[in-house]
Structure 1
Amino acid sequence: MLTFIIKRIVSLVLTLAVVSLLIFTIMSVLPGDPAAIMLGTSARPDTLMALRHTMGLDQPLLARYLHWLAGVLTGNMGVSSTYGVPVAGLIWVRLQLTLPLALFAIGLAMAIALPLGVVSARRRRGPVDYLVGLLSQAFIAIPAFWMGLLLIMVFSLFLPWLPAGGFPGWQSGVIKALAALVLPAIALALPQAGVLTRVTRTAVLEVMQEDFVRTAIAKGMSEGAALWRHGLPNAAIPVVTVLGLQFTFLIAGSVIVENLFDLPGLGRLAYQALTQRDLIVMQDVVLLFAAIVIVVNGLVDISYRLIDPRVREQAL
């Protein structure tokens, strides 16, 4: 197990190095001069040259890449040309909102999807199964931003129970901060819950058709006991896989929801950096998103060996 973890860490580091090179290359070949876009068309040539020198745009591509990578490795991620503050501090502040929001949303998705998927599998082809199928399809079909608008109309305008947007900050109290995240978390969670419900139902049905489950039931074990003792543990692999993918999506794909609810998170920071051509912020945020995806996928691979003994045996 230790050898596998070491190999995975080495693989993750190499993958992240390649991804960082791709990110830098793509950002560098985007059309337009970031310095000219920031200063406008009326900027003087000497002023433009001075800003390009400050941003390091007059250096060769390889030198710029190595300088950026060295800064990232040492924690010096540069200074935002738009905000005039260190990017590391800017990302850290935004991450304090995006990470709890993603955890909140994935927790809600699990709380909704796992029971529905199990109940749907146990009541296969019955009224409950069809109802759960309709709900899951509705969750998947409705986009997160449209769901967010409906939630704002119902729970902020018609029933003024929750704030329609904004984030007061954790310093104002946990209750107020979480209240501001309830509606965006639900808007993010429901589409993911629809997908996870379908995956859970399919995984449980496949496991319940296996010979070892049929044998346990034939020996006198009830179907419910066989489900909890044998079905759910062996159906965990596809569920964990989808959870890993969904968590990375919630971290990196919450741009629209954060803008809809006026939340100062990483997604909104990435959007603002893109519109303002803040090159260093764009590179650092995209690299962070890529690192989160790579790390989560690595943790999912490691969890396979903890969940399913058959995977451990195949790796030996």
Structure 2
Amino acid sequence: MAVPAEGLPARVRIHEVGPRDGLQNEKATVPTAVKAEFVHRLADAGLTTIEATSFVHPGWVPQLADAEELFPRVSGLGVALPVLVPNERGLDRALSLGARRVAVFASATESFAKANLNRSVDEVLTMSEPVVARAKARDVHVRGYLSMCFGDPWEGAVPVDQVVRVCRALLDLGCDELSLGDTIGVATPGHVRAVLTALNEGGVPTDALGVHFHDTYGQALANTLAALQHGVTTVDASAGGLGGCPFAKSATGNLATEDLVWMLRGLGIDTGVDLGRLVATSEWMAGRLGRPSPSRTVRALGGTTTQPHKEQ
């Protein structure tokens, strides 16, 4: 039963990251056909933004080495299919296949910038500048991911002013939207509100922000609700709760899309997502990965709905 609460948005756009962020840390190679079907099933479930893959060097993230093969298999779905591009070479590869939405990534901390890209924070921003400029010149939408916005495994708590500085820099480069990453899942609701308020005070508008919470300490839904109360309407989530981060070993799974949809549906917030189809999709993928989904909603509703298997 939906019981709306005051001060919340009427609709939330879910930025589905399962096919990219969810699968990137899997040790066993997931076949391209399975990845393609995953994206198709997610689109069938009503998700309109599905992060498909990453055009990184295969040595960095071997699981996503098939980006050139995968993207043409899903590009005709009629949904937004953002892809990660770490540098100009990645952008060239994405543009050559017709990508219309790309993402660059940066860090709020020096330690993670070094671990992730072997560069300083400012060097990462400098590397991203021509990527964003060239993408915008082609009228391509650019998202900026910012990792370690709330805590860092090497540096501990992250000063809010560091987050504001790098967010402001990404917007100044030309990013259309930003995703605030709680990469190791240490945020709590008051911290979320403090960061969002500081960003607004620093000239970063709420409508340019999305949130990306990991559920390491079970706080992802509480943090999401705090962000919604602040006015955020874009939330990253991963079908079945898949994911982690290959460069931060303490990072656990993303917020499960099903758990997010269950909460939003209960609050009367529209997402356009068919929860039954989504649960069936995550059950199907869990079967392909050989282990149960960590999503509580998938476990609660699992087996109550089915979806036919179809190879893409």
TM-score after normalising by structure 2: 0.25
Higher share in strand? 2
Higher relative contact order (CA 8 A, sep 6+): 1
**Structure of higher CA gyration radius:** 1
